[in-house]
Amino acid sequence: MVNTKVSLCGIELDNPVIPASGTFGFGYEFAELYDINILGSLSFKGTTLEPRFGNPTPRIAETHSGMLNAVGLQNPGVERVIAEELPKLRAVFSKPAMANVSGFSVEEYVRTVERLDTAPGIGWFEINISCPNVHGGGMSFGTDPKSAETVTRAVREVTKKPIIIKLSPNVTDIVSIAKACEAGGADGVSLINTLMGMRIDLKSRKPVIKNKTGGLSGPAIKPVAVRMVYQVFEAVGIPIVGMGGISTAEDVIEFMLAGATAVEVGAHNLVDPFASKKIIEDLPRAMEKYRINSLTEIIGGAH
């Protein structure tokens, strides 16, 4: 019998598969389809201090082997998340969840984490310093090591829960950003967020997405993600949550060999709402095929 359990920042998961923020709502929506307690955990919809409508439409476009999105962190704001969304999640999900937090200033990150810190059922904070689809915040903190470290230190001071910093691939050197986050007190890093991309409509001769650019996700970005996880693993001593184009159990194993302790499934949840469930159920088969007794044994195994 194979062992799919892993430990992420001191919290044990039944398996390493976590639906990525922005692709799984607040989780309870998927509980109408299947028992979401099969998941290792879930990272719920990115939450900001104040409500956000997001970017104007159209804000999603298909591409070859992926999709572009510029949703722009649409969410009801932290107070409504605590009062309305999290109780619905807790009613159907008994495991610790990951709270994905975004902000437009260091103060906003801090205040949002402070409010969520006492909410029941949160195991980790995933601090998103890498969203490419908002103006004046998000990715601007994730493209400079000093800014990344500043946000990390500020959040570290207001919670004792593990903090995992979500990194942007839209940088020259992701290793320097990861090392800065570790120096600032991060318990882990998650990577990668989406790559900047664009599509142009041939008839209108204008960008397909109203925001002009969007974040590219899906299988197209997987080789970039695996490479970055591999590089960061060699540079830091904290756990990595890998993501980018994961759609099969074999993809999970590949990311773990590169150095990931756990993984997040993103765009594929939008292709198939049962995607994360299917990957988890198929993991034992893939492990037996590649003679893996325990997933913890293969973390960083390609190095």
Cα 109 to Cα 47: distance, rounded to the nearest angstrom: 10
Half-sphere exposure of 170 (CA within 13 A, CB side): 21
CA distances from 150 to 111, 142, 153 (A): 15, 10, 5
Minimal CA–CA distance to 85: which of 120, 124, 55?
Answer: 120
131 included as an active-site residue = yes
Question: ∠ CA 235-107-124 to the nearest 5 degrees?
Answer: 50
Cα 300 to Cα 85: distance, rounded to the nearest angstrom: 36
Cα 27 to Cα 115: distance, rounded to the nearest angstrom: 20
Residue 157: beta bridge partners?
A: none
CB-based contact 167:189 (threshold 8 Å): yes
CB-based burial, 284-295: b 16+ in 10 Å, e otherwise:
bebbeeeebeeb
SS3 255: helix
Q: Which of 13, 36, 101, 131 is catalytic?
A: 131
What are the structure tokens assigned to 1, written together? Answer: 């019998």
Cα 64 to Cα 67: distance, rounded to the nearest angstrom: 8
User: Which positions ≥6 away from 44 have C-beta within 8 Å?
Assistant: 21, 24, 25, 26, 27, 85, 89, 97, 98, 99, 100
Minimal CA–CA distance to 42: which of 25, 58, 54?
Answer: 25
Any idea which residues carry the catalytic annotation? 131
